[in-house]
Structure 1
């Protein structure tokens, strides 16, 4: 007899549990995003390439001068585009996070997915009707006003945190990132081939953008009709008292390494007055480390597409797709890294390993001259995803579940706002240095990545001090 026939309720619960998985939404959204990002770059390049050729048909210029002019035009487009994408979510993302905490967890996800769909439709219409590239600024604004990636990813992290216990939360969140990376890898690998499927004045990139719209549509309807909000999996046997120092935080620093709670017993000792306030300090330092590290990552990611198109690489559409796909392999290696490191290292150690990995790879990237050197540099970045994901996990263990939406969206908006500034600064630096030393931006990213280790190192030092000298309350000591 089928187990589900013998116990139909168990089968029903199993199906309902599957409906709480956020992975299908993440996967389809990321496939749409990777196709869109590659399509946007190639469409913009084709638009400015056509403009450059027509403008210089009467007075031919050296190929290098035309290439530099095209690079500046693409860079200037992305400066404005990234400003729109980064600033418009500030108007709506926090409100969506508040509504998600107060009324329904899916609000921030569904509204932001609607914005994603509208932006993909904007690129599709640009390809179909041959509209000017400035139309894409309006599409980006619609995406941002619907919350953008800040609202979407904070909603995803909130659902992922609610559906996992503290001891497994780092693994749960990095698993979601793994799905994101695998989907992005597949989309990027296919993007160059899909872009070349139709040629001609009105068909270049049509198949690629149509596929992106289809995936975004699926993600929106799945989140509306299928996705269910999971019940909180907080362990009632480990309920810990709250400390009235920070609203919405839990007074236990050992939440950064919850597995230690199973290994060591609580030592009964009265708390030291004025010293038992770890959450405020830890959250501030984690914020600072995440922001500095994100500056390095965003700067590298924004400049890398231009670096691929320019000499010494000078890649075509398919090679650009492969290069973008190489960036998504860090989702796989970072997942494996967390799987191994979480058994023997604390969160802070894993964060620093990831920062060293990215900083070393960015430094190698600054001196890339051949294609194989590019992939070697990307391989060195194999643990680059660990820091921000682990920081989110550590923060989720220091706050109440009812505050996940607000805190995650504040972190994501902070990263988005600093990312806007970084994008503008890095693009300007790239324009000024591309003729002298094209790897200047990557060298700067390497410096910032190593700089971000400092606040995380302070967190690790404070943790060791608190545990050694007993400067934390008895409920907070591992």
Structure 2
């Protein structure tokens, strides 16, 4: 328990910095593109970001900036994906032998590099396409996927029961979300009063503090296994072979029923992540566009409300778990929550309706900790790193493809139906509900996906 609480500050500081940066980076690129393409200053209004656009006949320019901003995001994600995937698969899997701390420290270094790059480009007004290079360099250190994979493998090392693992993973999501909400609210006010440079500097200092804490305070949880039957790796093999073999052994060494259960759970996890990330990645651009035309303050409040999903999802997981609700049913409830929010967002033309859409998604995070726990229970304790390496390898790949697909669709449909991407996401969720029911009926009887075993304690 002591080591679990020592992990929390690292995740909290990283989360605060990440959620402070995410809307900030999108808005910085958007404003720089506006300046380059229109040769005019970005229109600023206390009530609407589109007021100046309509008065100066710049609505066509606004649509073009929307397209270019989404394409910039596409280029950044695609070019940073390959190095990130390689590092995730190798580093998190190798943590089963080398320890978990390296999977936490390396991504923090990469995030710090990327944030400092944004600060440098903003301060010296350099070419914004240099930011694509900084994203690639950050990906070589693993990125967010490696950090989360290492952290959840760290948590899995410390948990003894299924219920404990589910609640702790959901609790970490809740803690991250609360701090993310505070960061999201402060982003709008920070940007309005101090511009971009000070928020980027603040984020860099927070990442420095988190990195120092991870190096000098965080304790290691993973000790190299001594059972020859478990290791099955000769010391003479290269490190890369050991990393890859960890994932292969996890998939090949399990029984047939475990393989079936694990494969089906991974299908649900990656499919949900595809639709979830793809739909939510367009929220900020959608809010900036007509007819909403939100200012940075409203975007900050919306991001904060979105972040409360971590708290409400934790409460939902806790209540449903203690009541003995089957875990797959908890997953389905989370999918329904997100699908309803996406449909509402697609038709949101007013600020109040958009906030209702965001509030509809308050249980949408429930599937993630539950699915992670279900997969972790199938795998031995010496293969947790390999499992989370494989999960986040697939998640980063899926999310990158998803972001690229949804950015391309948004760029092509923003002129006639900006909410089309949300309808597409909702349609995918409805399809997943049917697939999940079918998958539940296909799970072998000797693999339990019902209420967690902790219920029987």
Deviation at 1:278, TM superposition (A): 2.1
Task: Indicate which of 433, 441, 456 corresponds to 1:453.
Answer: 433
1:9-28 matches, within 5 Å, as 17=2, 21-28=6-13
Deviation at 1:249, TM superposition (A): 7.5
Task: Indicate which of 349, 360, 369 corresponds to 1:389.
Answer: 369
Task: Indicate which of 326, 329, 334 corresponds to 1:349.
Answer: 329
**What is the CA–CA distance in structure 2 between the aligned matches of 1:107 and 1:90, rounded to whole Å?**
16
With the length of structure 1 as denominator, give the TM-score of the two structures.
0.81
Q: Give the secondary structure class of the aligned counterpart of 1:466.
A: coil
Q: Give the secondary structure class of the aligned counterpart of 1:315.
A: coil
**What is the CA–CA distance in structure 2 between the aligned matches of 1:301 and 1:434, rounded to whole Å?**
15
Name the CA shift for 1:184/1:285 in 2 (closer, same or farther; >3 Å): same
* Contact 2:118–2:131 under 8 Å retained in 1: yes
* Contact 2:12–2:179 under 8 Å retained in 1: yes
1:96-111 matches, within 5 Å, as 96-111=91-106
Name the CA shift for 1:250/1:50 in 2 (closer, same or farther; >3 Å): closer
* Contact 1:181–1:329 under 8 Å retained in 2: yes
Residue in structure 2 matched with residue 127 of structure 1 by the alignment = 122
**What is the CA–CA distance in structure 2 between the aligned matches of 1:231 and 1:138, rounded to whole Å?**
34
Residue in structure 1 matched with residue 152 of structure 2 by the alignment = 157
Are 1:430 and 2:427 counterparts? no
* Contact 2:111–2:138 under 8 Å retained in 1: yes
**What is the CA–CA distance in structure 1 between the aligned matches of 2:192 and 2:380, rounded to whole Å?**
49
With the length of structure 2 as denominator, give the TM-score of the two structures.
0.85
Unaligned runs of 5+ in 2: 43-54, 224-247, 449-455
Are 1:115 and 2:115 counterparts? no
Q: Give the secondary structure class of the aligned counterpart of 1:314.
A: coil
**What is the CA–CA distance in structure 1 between the aligned matches of 2:308 and 2:261, rounded to whole Å?**
30
Runs (4 or more) in structure 1 with deviation over 4 Å come to 249-252
Q: Give the secondary structure class of the aligned counterpart of 2:418.
A: coil
Q: Deviations over 1:23-56 (max 9, x none)?
A: 1111100111111112211211221121123189
**Higher Cα Rg, which structure:** 1
Deviation at 1:180, TM superposition (A): 1.1
* Contact 1:84–1:144 under 8 Å retained in 2: no
**What is the CA–CA distance in structure 1 between the aligned matches of 2:338 and 2:109, rounded to whole Å?**
33
Q: How many residues align?
A: 411
Residue in structure 2 matched with residue 270 of structure 1 by the alignment = none
Unaligned runs of 5+ in 1: 1-13, 199-203, 233-245, 253-275, 471-477
Deviation at 1:82, TM superposition (A): 1.5
Deviation at 1:62, TM superposition (A): 2.7
Are 1:170 and 2:166 counterparts? yes
Residue in structure 2 matched with residue 466 of structure 1 by the alignment = 445
Task: Indicate which of 291, 297, 303 corresponds to 1:312.
Answer: 291
Q: Give the secondary structure class of the aligned counterpart of 2:308.
A: helix
Task: Indicate which of 214, 221, 237 corresponds to 2:205.
Answer: 214
Deviation at 1:460, TM superposition (A): 2.6
Task: Indicate which of 29, 41, 63 corresponds to 1:68.
Answer: 63
Over aligned residues, Cα RMSD in angstroms?
2.5
**What is the CA–CA distance in structure 2 between the aligned matches of 1:434 and 1:137, rounded to whole Å?**
24
Are 1:281 and 2:260 counterparts? yes
* Contact 2:30–2:65 under 8 Å retained in 1: yes
Deviation at 1:401, TM superposition (A): 1.5
Residue in structure 2 matched with residue 137 of structure 1 by the alignment = 132
Deviation at 1:84, TM superposition (A): 2.8
Q: Deviations over 1:425-470 (max 9, x none)?
A: 111111221121111000010011122223432343245x7269x9
Say which structure, 1 or 2, has more relative contact order (CA 8 Å, 6+ apart).
2
* Contact 1:119–1:143 under 8 Å retained in 2: yes
